[in-house]
């Protein structure tokens, strides 16, 4: 297991332990106040604890080395863990909504010691925000969906704690106890939305949905580092396995290159790719030979075997690099007509 993997698992262990402590604090706050709004915060903290356990296990499994039964590794389990976390969050929101509505209907509002409850909720919210910020930052650095999802959940918990404090403060000032249920309803909707959003991202990962933003950032790097021998790059596909990435593409090089020369261009592409992603990427490159039409976009100006005049440089974008054919001026013109922003 790499040092980065050990750091991620260590951070998630801290998140799990702190979430358990904060859950106990919020349960105590609900017990002394009887506030259904504080109960919503406590129930969400249960999800933090359960989801934290799932995330910790999934991270451990995802960092296991590839084996005969899992030739691409175990990274997909991160998406499953994120999906479970999102489902639990959404279910908690639905339950809180139900409890708040029933309390409004029954008109039973008993709230006490709100000052102590507000202090405890505020303390827990502050700790959640700090921990969530650190977790999201680390998750983005390592491109780990479970860490990002868990961190966002902790930060959303802190935002809801702020709003909860303001709402409970209003209850204290006005004496309108029914506001406690209204606040709980508002939070239940927010919590449910957060849960469904995490589920959506997890499903996208499992279904290998294209990440256009990631591809755009990668192509910006390639456009800056491309060499004259990289005539074009096409049929690019990213597949995510948790925090690991699989990338395959077709790279067009001069047709007269021998195997060793073509491999050197692959090595240059691999070096640029690994430098950008800051960790090892599984890169599969199919080498294509150039055709006469390629001369129109080829910037190897000293080529002794050029058959056509150079017309223009083609900037690689998410449109032309995901197509199967090699780049040709006529294809570029067609894409520009279909999408004038290119």
Which pLDDT score is estimated for 16?
86
Residue 163 · residue 24 · CB < 8 Å = no
Q: What is the mean pLDDT of the chain?
A: 82
Query: Which tokens is 247 given?
Result: 């990338």
Architecture of domain 3-206: Up-down Bundle (1.20)
Which one is predicted more confidently, 201 or 267? 267
Angle at 268 between CA 2 and CA 142, to 5 degrees: 30
Q: Please identify which residue in the block is written with the tokens 């070096």.
A: 271
Using pLDDT thresholds of 50, 70 and 90, give the confidence band for residue 342: very low
CA separation for the pair 313, 296 (Å, rounded): 8
Give the neighbor-by-neighbor strand order of the sheet with 232-241: 232-241, 244-253, 282-289
CATH topology of domain 212-338: Alpha-Beta Plaits (3.30.70)
Helix or strand run (H / E) with residue 309 = none
Among residues 130, 190, 198, 196, the alpha carbon closest in space to that of 164 is found at: 190
Give tens-digit pLDDT for 158-186.
877 877 788 788 877 887 777 777 877 88
Tens-digit pLDDT profile for residues 199-249 = 888 888 888 777 888 899 999 999 999 999 999 999 999 887 766 788 999
Spell out the domain ranges in the chain.
3-206, 212-338
Mean pLDDT of the region 134-161? 77
Residues near 93 by Cβ (< 8 Å), separated by ≥ 6? 187, 188, 189, 190, 191, 192, 193, 194, 195
Position 280 scores a pLDDT of 62
String of b and e for 290-319 (b: at least 16 CB within 10 Å)?
Answer: beebbbbbbebeebeeeeeeeeeebebbee
């Amino acid at each position: 297991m790499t040092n980065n993997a050990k750091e991620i698992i260590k951070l998630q262990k801290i998140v799990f332990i702190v979430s358990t402590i904060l859950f106990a604090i919020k349960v105590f706050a609900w017990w002394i106040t009887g506030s259904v709004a504080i109960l919503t915060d406590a129930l969400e903290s249960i999800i933090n604890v359960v989801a934290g356990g799932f995330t910790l296990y999934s991270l451990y499994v995802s960092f296991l080395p590839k084996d005969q039964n899992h030739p691409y590794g175990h990274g997909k389990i991160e998406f499953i863990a994120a999906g479970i976390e999102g489902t639990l969050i959404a279910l908690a929101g639905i339950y809180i909504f139900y409890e708040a509505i029933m309390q409004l209907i029954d008109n039973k509002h008993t709230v006490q010691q709100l000052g102590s409850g507000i202090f405890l909720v505020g303390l827990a919210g502050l700790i959640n925000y700090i921990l969530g910020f650190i977790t999201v930052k680390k998750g983005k650095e390592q491109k780990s969906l479970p860490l990002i999802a868990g961190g966002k959940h902790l930060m959303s918990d802190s935002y809801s704690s702020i709003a909860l404090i303001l709402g409970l403060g209003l209850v204290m000032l006005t004496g309108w106890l029914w506001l406690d249920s209204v606040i709980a309803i508002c939070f239940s909707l927010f919590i449910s939305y957060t849960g469904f959003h995490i589920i959506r991202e997890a499903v996208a990962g499992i279904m290998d949905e294209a990440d256009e933003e990631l591809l755009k950032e990668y192509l910006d790097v390639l456009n800056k580092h491309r060499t004259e021998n990289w005539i074009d790059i096409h049929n690019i596909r990213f597949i995510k396995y948790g925090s690991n990435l699989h990338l395959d593409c077709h790279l067009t090089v001069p047709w007269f290159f021998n195997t060793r020369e073509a491999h050197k261009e692959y090595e240059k592409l691999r070096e640029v790719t690994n430098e950008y992603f800051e960790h090892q990427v599984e890169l599969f490159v199919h080498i294509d030979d150039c055709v006469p039409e390629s001369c129109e976009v080829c910037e190897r100006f000293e080529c002794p075997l050029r058959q056509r005049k150079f017309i223009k440089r083609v900037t690689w974008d998410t449109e032309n690099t995901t197509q199967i054919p090699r780049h040709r001026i006529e294809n570029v013109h067609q894409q520009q007509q279909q999408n004038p922003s290119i």
